[in-house]
Each structure stands twice: as structure tokens, then as C-alpha cells.
A and B are shown apart, each in its own frame.
Chain A
């Protein structure tokens, strides 16, 4: 895609958003809004290549490289589907504001995918992050506001880490990705670690790695379904994409970082599931599932950092993973939104079938896109050594856990027929179905031939199926055993798990600090001293007046004249 194409893709949503601000253009813009991603979906198919735009920002470079080409169309497609669903989920009185945020976030998302250097990337990243705030708090409820606050705090923290890290990187190289990645080779280990740490944290917030994920389960459930869909499907991937862009994956072996990232990823994968299982809301469960899935993708980055020579494989797998998870999670969120409403029996059946398919695919079930993605990741592992031995079982475990979590999802979100009077419009369901189908199919098309081949074999199917079955059995066991069921129902984890405790602790600290400051302000010695000094002024004025009076006495004047005259003569003589 050439520069103009990329620009069109990025600017189109912005133009529509701007049109929404003008009263006269508003109706047309409303109709146009869902189609704003269309250029981004289509243009990459026709154009390729990079272009320098020297007048933009600090000298921009736009275009689609391997990553962009793989990610932009599916992402845009997700946005398109979500956008089409917006009128259904967002009331007309708030729709304009929502659409503006939606379109701006979309534009940011496209920009960060089409950017080929740090500053433009950062611009897209920031645009997307800040605009999504509007998506999170759209409902306007206290819960939405709380989630929004959490979200924005994390966003700001993330942005600051990112920009600091980027500055550190930019200070030693040009701002295009390749140069930045290459600069790690020459960087001092300390500096490298700092940059990597900052970027890990900064983008990790977006990607929702364990410990930084708290905002995610808070924000996704409160947002309207289309918003959750893009948040979870498209936007959190930006963190991962950023790592691919800035980490020296495939170029420099950083075994300790690789190990750390892998561990973090696997930890996140497990933690997400464990914290998600007790959740009661479908969208919260899905959010934790996203956390968990992002953990697996983090593992991929870890592999890339530890084994540069394996990177091409890993990257291909990761792209598949991103596309697959993005579209699938998008469809799940949308579906959960639809399922929340009264459904006709047919619709309920359709949704239920879709959910099951999606769950299987997400857990890496046989013949699923998820399996393709996961296999790709496994192929990326080094052929021998500890990694080779340790990681695959863990992946299996993660499949099992994922399956459990999705079972939990199916349990809480199972579409039920209620009344059956109002059914979601067929258009909505059709769109959803298309999205789901794309999610299921696209990985097959994107994945490397080897991986594809590996995924279709019966052994592979079997290997993929048993964790699912195990999970099913486990779930059934829990349901069947009343004790376990009771214990399970007692476990309550608030959405946002540890983050909520953290928040409360910080608030208490702030209150205490505030009280302390108040006390200082009231009894501070500086203020008292100032008051005491002020009280001296009238007294000093009286003294001054009296002295002046003394000086004006004639006796004094006469004496002083003599004194001055005599001393003048003395000093002269």
C-alpha cells in the first residue's frame, strides 16, 4: 500500500468523525460511519510499498510491511462489523459522541498498523488509547466511570512508559523500526534493559499482561458490545504489535528477556483463566480470556527474543494468532451482547452454535483456526533444549484452562429464548455470523503451509481434542459434585481482581496524605511566624514615628548640624 492508500485508510474515519461535528453533515455522517474502515479493508489488497512523508510529524514513514499487511485488513474488518452493530447497541442520544470516539480510535488503530516509525506509531497508539476511553464510559453509569478511571490511569501510565522508552531508543538511532531494533545491538546492556523494561510495561498495559491487566476485565464488560469487540479484538493487540515492532526479535538473542517474557506470558495465560473462572458476567469472562490469550502471544514474543533464528516461524504464528483471536474474540463479545437481549428460538440456536464453535476454536480444538495458531507457535520453538521440553506441556495445560474458561463462558452466556417477541434484527445476526466465519477460516488461509498440514492430521486432531475433553469432564465433575460446586460458587473474585485491592490501598494512602497536609497547613510554623511578623508592623510604625518626632526636635537638629559641621571640617582638615 502506498502512502496515499495508508493515508486514506487512516483519514477516512477521521473525516467522518469531523463531519459528525458539523450539524448539517451529521445525518450523512451517521450513515457513513460504519463504512469508514472500508478503505482499510480493501486498499491493502491493491497496493503495497512504503512511503516517506517528510512533512508529517517528525518525518513520517507509512506503509504496510509484513505485519501490517497481515493485520490491517482483518482488523479493519472487525471494526467494520462492530461498526455495523453500533446502531443496535448504542442509543441515538449518545450515538454521535460514541461514534466520534469509535472513529477516532479506529483511525488510531489503523495508523499504528500502517506506521513504519516510532512517532507515527506512537501517535496512532495514543489516539486509539485516549479515544477508547469514550467507548469504555459510554454507558455513563458509576460502574462505567469507575472502569473508565481505571482505564485512563493505566493508559496514561502506559503512554508515559512508552514515550520514555521511545525517547531512550530514539536518542541512539533514527526513529524507524528497523533502526530502532538494530540499535539494541550496540546498546549497553543496562540501557537495553531499561528500554525493554519500559516498553514491556508500557505496551504490556495495553496487552494486558498479568499485573497490568486490571483495567481490562473492568473496561470490557461495561462498554457496549461493539466497543468491547474492538477493544478486545483489535486494540489490545496493539501492545503485542508494538513489541514486534520495537523489540529486537529475530535480530538479537536476549535469552534472559526471552525467558522472562515467556514466563510472564505463560503466567498470564494461567492467571487470566484462574481469575476469570469465578466471574459471573459473560463479558468479564471473555475479558479474562483475552488476558489469558494475550499471555500466550507474549510467550511467542519471548521465544522470539530468546531464539532469534526461530523468529520467522514465530512471527508468522503470532500473526495468525492475532488475527484469529482478534476476530474470534470480537465475534464473541458481539455475540455476548446479542445474547444478552431477548432472543427468538432460531436466533438463540444460531448463537449457541456459534458460541460453541468459537469456544472450540479458541481452545485450539481439532481443525480449528486456534489449533493452527497454537501449532505455529509450537513449531517456532527450538528443536531441542529446555524450551522444547517444557513449553509444549504448558501449552497443553493452557488449552485445557482456556477450554475451562470458555465452558464457564458458555455456562453464563448460554443464549436462552425469552419471550421471543423482539428478536435481534437478522442483519445483525448475519453480520455476526460472517465475522465468526471469517474468524474460523482466516487462520487457515494465513498460516504457513507446514502448520496447516500439521493441523489437519488425525493425530493432531486427537492431540487437540483431549484437553477439551478433559476440561469438559472437569467441568461436569464440578457440576456433579455438590461440595465442589458449592465451593466454586463461594469463590468471588471482583472483576479487576488484585487491581481493586491496589486501588483501595492507594486511595486510603491518599486520604491520609491529604489529612496530614491539612494539619501542616493549619499548624505549620511558617504560617504562624508570618502572622507574628505581620503583628509587628504597627509596632514598628509607631517606633518609626517616634524616632522621626525626636529627630524633628530643634535641639536635635541644632546638635546634628554642629556634629556634621565639625566632622566635615575634621574630615577635610
Chain B
């Protein structure tokens, strides 16, 4: 949509001016709020203090999967809901079958086999340094995407049921773990001492698989054809 042929109703100069002014005002407000007044120390101290009990050595991972694991649980729900939503829009649109470029094919042959490897590393690294399930899943999904755009569309031709099982696995396992620890008077997601690391890994692994499938599922933009 070029600005030369603006349809009627496209904003005019006045609107832009007003908008600019308002944005400036808003920016000024936020800036003032940032600069003026006290700055709270944050929670790094608390995190550091609780880190040993968290089952993860990386503070971010500890926050992500333990201290604020509930956020992540819901985040998985958001992801799953998104893919359910996208699938609910209808069957996956058919991408015009074009002959993929040889460059892509060549690259694929290198990258796709590498992806699981990188994925596994990221997953493992997550507990101690930057990394984790999402990053790992994303890499895996990227491989899937590459695979799809090269003309092979596994997700489309794959039976839907296994894929959906895979999609729910992340949230399902997470939820199962979160609930499973509760008997014995513990709260939701209150990992028993000592088991925290293992449980986090379990959750992360399942999440990785799911995230990969979800991202790929989101990419194809609709439900597999054999879904009712």
C-alpha cells in the first residue's frame, strides 16, 4: 500500500500531528516515571539466595521454570491455545507447489541434520547458562520450517493425531508434573527437594518437542487435512 494512492479514510496531516504530540506526551510521561523517584533494587538478591534450591544453576532458568514456573506453564498454554486457534481457522492453506531452489535444498541437507544436535545442546545448556526449552524448540521448528518450504510438508501429510499428541505433550507433562508434586501438602509446582533438577529437565524436554511442533504447526497456518 503506497502512500501515493491513499484510500479515503487514510489518516491526514492533522491526525499525524496530533498523534505525534500524544506520543511525545506519552514518551515524556514514561521517561519521567523512569527517571524520577526511586528505583527498586529488584529481585536478583532473592533469586540468588534461592537458587540452590531451584534445581537449576542458571538464575533465568530457575526463575522461568521454578520460581515463576507458573508463568511458564501458562505460557505453554498460550502457545497451545495459539496453535489450536490457528488450526481452528480451517485446513492448512495449500502453498503453491514450486520446485524449491537448489540452494535451499543444499542448505537443508546441512542444516536439518544439525538442528536436533543444536537443540539437544540448548536444552542441556539451559540449566546453567542461556538456553532452554524454547530456544531448543525454536531451532527444531526452524528445521521443520526449512523442510516444509523445501516442498516436503511432513506436517501436512503426517497423520494429525500424533502431531497433536506432540503438541499437547509439553503442557501436558508440565501440568502433570506440577500437579503430581502436590500430594503431601506441597503447593502447585513445588518440586520436592532434590528432584527439582530432574523434573525441570523432564518438563523442558517435553516442552522442547511441543514447542517445535507448535511452531511448525503455527507455520503451516491451519490444521492438517485429515483432522475432522
Report B26 CB to chain A, min CB distance, Å.
6
> In the complex, which residues of chain B have a beta carbon less than 8 angstroms from the beta carbon of A565?
26
**What is the CA–CA distance of A569 and B29 in the complex, to the nearest angstrom?**
8
* Interface presence of B19 (CB below 8 A): yes
| Closest Cβ–Cβ distance, residue A472 to chain B (whole Å) | 112
Count B-side interface residues using an 8 Å CB cutoff.
Answer: 10
Q: In this assembly, does A553 line the interface, its C-beta being within 8 Å of a C-beta of chain B? A: yes
Does residue A441 face the partner (Cβ distance < 8 Å to B)? no
Is B19 a contact partner of A558 (Cβ separation < 8 A)? yes
Known contacts A562-B26, A566-B26; 19 further A-B pairs (Cβ under 8 A):
A553-B9, A555-B11, A555-B15, A555-B19, A558-B19, A559-B15, A559-B18, A559-B19, A559-B22, A562-B19, A562-B22, A562-B23, A562-B25, A563-B22, A565-B26, A566-B22, A566-B25, A566-B29, A569-B29
Chain A residue nearest to B29 (CB atoms) is A569
Chain B proximity mask over A554-568: 1 for CB below 8 Å, otherwise 0? 010011001101100
User: Which B residues are CB-close (under 8 A) to A555?
Assistant: 11, 15, 19
Q: How far is the CA of A402 from the CA of B11 in the complex (A)?
A: 107
Q: How far is the CA of A566 from the CA of B29 in the complex (A)?
A: 8
Chain B: CB-nearest residue to A570:
B29
Digit string of B8-25 for contact with A (CB within 8 Å is 1, else 0)? Answer: 010100010011001101
B binding-site residues for A, Cβ under 8 Å: 9, 11, 15, 18-19, 22-23, 25-26, 29
A216 to B26 alpha-carbon distance, docked (Å): 97
Main SS at interface, chain B:
helix
Can you list 21 residue pairs at the A/B interface with Cβ under 8 Å? A553-B9, A555-B11, A555-B15, A555-B19, A558-B19, A559-B15, A559-B18, A559-B19, A559-B22, A562-B19, A562-B22, A562-B23, A562-B25, A562-B26, A563-B22, A565-B26, A566-B22, A566-B25, A566-B26, A566-B29, A569-B29
Q: Interface digits, A537-567 against B, CB 8 Å rule (1 contact, 0 not)? A: 0000000000000000101001100110110
Which residues of chain B are within 8 angstroms of A566 by Cβ–Cβ distance? 22, 25-26, 29
Interchain CA distance A565-B25 in the complex, whole Å: 10
Complexed CA–CA distance, A45 and B14 (Å):
111
- B contact residues around A563 at 8 Å (CB): 22
Residues from chain A with Cβ under 8 Å of B26 in the complex:
562, 565-566
Cα distance, A563 to B26, chains bound together (Å): 9
Q: CA–CA, A563 to B22, complex, Å? A: 7
Cα separation A565 to B9 with both chains bound (whole Å):
25
Whole-angstrom distance between the alpha carbons of A555 and B18 in the complex? 11
Q: Look across to chain A and name the residue whose beta carbon is closest to the beta carbon of B11.
A: A555
Least distance between A326 CB and chain B CB atoms (Å): 99
In angstroms, how far is the closest chain A Cβ from the Cβ of B141? 32
Tell me the complex Cα distance, A563–B21, Å: 10
Closest to A555 in B: B11
List, in ascending order, chain B residues with CB within 8 A of A558's CB: 19
Within 8 A of B (CB), among A35-66: none
Taking the closest CB of chain B, its distance from the CB of A78, in whole angstroms, is 99
Give Cα A17–Cα B11 distance, bound, in whole angstroms: 92
Instruction: Name the CB-closest residue of A to B23.
Output: A562
CB distance from B37 to the nearest CB of A (A): 11
- Kindly provide the distance from the CB of A531 to the nearest chain B CB, expressed in whole angstroms: 36
- Shortest CB distance B13–A (Å): 12
The smallest beta-carbon distance between B12 and chain A, in angstroms, is: 9
Residues of A within 8 A of B29 (CB): 566, 569
Contacts of A569 in B (CB 8 A): 29
Residue of B with least CB distance to A550: B9
A566 and B28 alpha carbons, distance in the complex (Å): 10
A562, closest chain B residue (CB): B22
CB-CB contacts of A247-269 with B at 8 A, as 1s and 0s? 00000000000000000000000
A560 — nearest CB in chain B belongs to which residue? B22
Chain A min CB distance to B205 (Å): 42
Complex interface: chain A residues within 8 A of B23 (CB): 562
From residue B34, how far is it (CB to closest CB) to chain A in Å? 13
Question: Once bound together, how far apart are the Cα atoms of A558 and B11, in whole Å?
Answer: 12
Once the chains are docked, how many angstroms separate the CA of A553 from the CA of B7?
13
Closest 8 CB pairs of A and B: A562-B22, A555-B11, A566-B25, A569-B29, A555-B15, A562-B26, A566-B26, A559-B19
B9 / chain A contacts, CB cutoff of 8 Å: 553
Nearest B-chain residue to A563, judged by Cβ? B22
User: Which residues on the A side are within 8 Å of B22 (C-beta)?
Assistant: 559, 562-563, 566
* Alpha-carbon distance A558/B15, docked complex (angstroms): 11
Output the residue of B19, B22, B23 with the most chain A CB within 10 A: B22
Cα–Cα distance between A555 and B15 once the two chains are bound (Å): 8
Q: State the Cβ distance, A569 to closest chain B Cβ, in Å.
A: 5
- List, in ascending order, chain A residues with CB within 8 A of B18's CB: 559
- Give the docked Cα–Cα distance between A559 and B19 (Å): 6
What is the distance, in angstroms, from B87's C-beta to the closest C-beta of chain A?
A: 28
**Chain B contacts of A562 at CB under 8 A?**
19, 22-23, 25-26
Nearest-neighbor residue (CB-CB) of A553 within chain B: B9
Question: Complex Cα distance A562/B23, Å?
Answer: 7
In the assembled complex, the CB of A99 is this many whole angstroms from the nearest CB of chain B, namely 89
Cα-based distance from A565 to B33 in the complex (angstroms):
14
How many Å from the CB of A567 to the closest CB on chain B?
Answer: 10
Q: What's the nearest-Cβ distance from chain A to residue B8, in Å?
A: 11
Assembly CA distance A565 to B22 (angstroms): 10
